Amino acid sequence: MTPTAALRTLQQPGPALAPRGLLRWSGAHRDLRIRLPVGADLMDGLVAALSGAGIEQAGMVLLGGDLARVAYSTGRADETGYRVATPHGPFECEGPLTVIGGSALLGRDKTGAPLLHCHAVFADRAGRVLGGHLRPGRCPLGPAGLTASAACPGEGGFQVADDAETNFPIFQLLGPEVAP
């Protein structure tokens, strides 16, 4: 497709690596509804709940809940040029906060340990809506706990590796090549 005037592309620090998009089929999968109680940490709680069930890979939608507190980061331009964008923050908000939505992917870090990448939106008591990249261990849940739905690939998934194009360690795909 020809880029429109509105599609601003940015020069990444490394070479543009082909292919520009990847897709892998999963095998048989599981669907789960997850309930975390008050006091659990949003990210650590999701990881523990899934790992305890032997699940290493999952995609989740946050359906709702409360946060007693939250720590999150956002993104901003990296003035050093090392990366196109770099984390900004972290910012902290005291609750009570209401979780409006969000999404999370459970995969593995470089060593094979579980890693959750979670972005979420929440509202404070004044109705101000904020969001960003959540920090593990720093997002205790409030009275309503948290509900999420999970789709868990039976094979394949995500594992972190250093990415030469962006200079970030990011999730890369596991599993067999796309098979139409």
Partner 1 sequence: MTDHPLLENGRAGRLCTLRLKPNEDLVTALERLCAEAGIEAAILRAGVGSLNDAHFDCGDGQVTVEGPGLEIVTLTGEIAPDAAGRPRATLSGSVSDREGAVHGGRFRRGENAICITLEAILQEWLPEPEA
**Contact residues for partner 1, defined by CB under 8 A:** 1, 3-4, 6-10, 12, 16-17, 20-26, 29, 57-61, 72, 74-77, 83-86, 88-89, 91, 100-105, 117-121, 129-133, 151, 153, 156-158, 163, 165-166, 168, 170-175, 178-180
Choose between 45 and 57: whose C-beta lies nearer to partner 1. 57
Q: How far is the CB of 151 from partner 1 (least distance, A)?
A: 4
Choose between 41 and 72: whose C-beta lies nearer to partner 1. 72
C-alpha span between 163 and 27 (Å, rounded): 26
φ/ψ bin of 175: left (φ > 0), alpha (ψ from -120 to 50), beta (otherwise): left
Q: How far is the CB of 126 from partner 1 (least distance, A)?
A: 13
Asked if omega into 114 is within 30° of 0 (cis), the reply is no
Q: How far is the CB of 92 from partner 1 (least distance, A)?
A: 11
C-alpha span between 34 and 117 (Å, rounded): 17
Choose between 86 and 144: whose C-beta lies nearer to partner 1. 86
Q: How far is the CB of 144 from partner 1 (least distance, A)?
A: 18
C-alpha span between 93 and 71 (Å, rounded): 7
Choose between 53 and 77: whose C-beta lies nearer to partner 1. 77
Choose between 40 and 158: whose C-beta lies nearer to partner 1. 158
- Contacts made by residues 166-169, CB under 8 angstroms, sequence distance 24+: 166/12, 166/13, 166/14, 166/83, 166/84, 167/13, 167/14, 167/82, 167/83, 168/83, 169/110
Q: How far is the CB of 145 from partner 1 (least distance, A)?
A: 20
**CB 93 within 8 Å of CB 135:** no
